[in-house]
Amino acid sequence: MKDIRVLVVDDSAVVRQVLAALLDAAPGIVVSHAVADPLLAIERMRGDWPDVIVLDIEMPRMDGITFLKRIMRERPTPVVICSTLTEKGAQTTMEAMAAGAVAIVTKPRLGLKQFLHDAAAELVHAVRAAARANPRRLVPVEKHTVDAMLPVAKAAPAMTRTTEQVVAIGASTGGTQALEQVLTALPGVAPGIVIVQHMPEKFTTAFAARLDSICRIAVKEAATNDRVIPGRALVAPGGKHLLLHRTGAQYVVEVADGPLVNRHRPSVDVLFRSVARCAGANALGIIMTGMGDDGATGLLDMRKAGARTLAQDEASCVVYGMPKEAVKRGGVERSVALEGIAKEIVQVIRGGS
């Protein structure tokens, strides 16, 4: 297989030097260019288009998001965001993910050089995952209202239904865009949803807030003892596992520390297994785009417990890794295109299969 050609775009000379050295040292990866801003990047790319771009956000002459949007319009290319971890930066990075970036690697303002060395494995993993992305799925899709799929029904109070139906969703690379497409297509009375999206600590707060601002359902970063109720989705905080528990007729979540599971915290397997144990046939499990196998075991647990289980199909995935592994292990009843997942969730309201 040919080497993955990487373009690094960052206004810090130290970052460019360290990233280039770390990536060049990884087997199968070659840094073609390392430049200080997007305008220089555009010049280099005219004659030497990279396989993956590692991109900072705050830069002179042109910011990273403007550059990212331009790339996605002209020639969709996998982009890994490597940005400073601040509250403002987190929100900005969420905008970048919505514009088509496939992964985030956070960097601190202090101790940057040492951090980049310590995070070498994460950086390499992110670049390799990005290189496997399907460029056709990186471009943000046209957004339709739920009316395009489900006609407006007479208003009904969300709390008229019980909390016995639970939808559990797991995603990784490409999941931020995919989840946005699914959740914005849901009506306000959608069943209660619990979500694990592989994402670093603190970024999930901004991610949930952004979804909440554009969805009919409420979306929030999960906290221990939050109830799973119709019309709301709970997103696992970065750096914490999310588990489902049953208290009487109600479902609540627990946000917990613990070891990395499948190299992740939060882990989709942890969520899915907890759903299998306490919700069983009252649940729907959905595994979406992502690299690796996190969630495959848990989804099989859910299916054995009587839950309905779905996987995003290969054609609509940015990376067909997690769904593929779940299918291979026998945990998936059906594979569904991304555009059809919201309809499957709506069927839970109607008691359909």
Confirm whether 198 is a catalytic residue. yes
294 is a catalytic site residue: yes
What residues does 53 pair with on adjacent strands?
A: 7, 79
φ/ψ (deg, to 5) at 266: -80, 155
Sign of CA dihedral 173, 174, 176, 182: negative
Integer Cα distance of 299 and 289 in angstroms: 14
How far, in Å, CA of 244 to CA of 195, rounded?
A: 11
Catalytic residue, chosen from 32, 83, 172, 274, is 172
- Is residue 135 helix, strand or coil? helix
Q: Phi, psi (5° rounding) for residue 110?
A: -110, 150
Determine whether 172 is an active site residue.
Answer: yes
Do residues 77 and 49 lie in contact, with contact meaning Cβ atoms separated by under 8 Å? Answer: yes
Q: What is the DSSP letter of 287?
A: E
Do residues 51 and 39 make contact, with C-beta atoms less than 8 angstroms apart? no
> How many Cβ atoms are within 10 Å of 92's Cβ, its own excluded?
19
- In this structure, what is the dihedral angle of CA atoms 151, 154, 157, 161, given to the nearest 10 degrees? -70
Residues forming beta bridges with residue 283, ordered by sequence position = 166
Q: Which of 33, 198, 241, 264 is catalytic?
A: 198
Could you tell me which of 106, 78, 110 has the C-alpha nearest to residue 92? 106
Residue tagged active-site, from 56, 294, 301, 313: 294
Alpha helices in the chain (DSSP H): 13-25, 38-47, 64-74, 87-99, 112-118, 120-131, 175-184, 203-214, 268-278, 296-304, 322-328, 338-350
- Which positions are annotated as active-site residues? 172, 198, 294
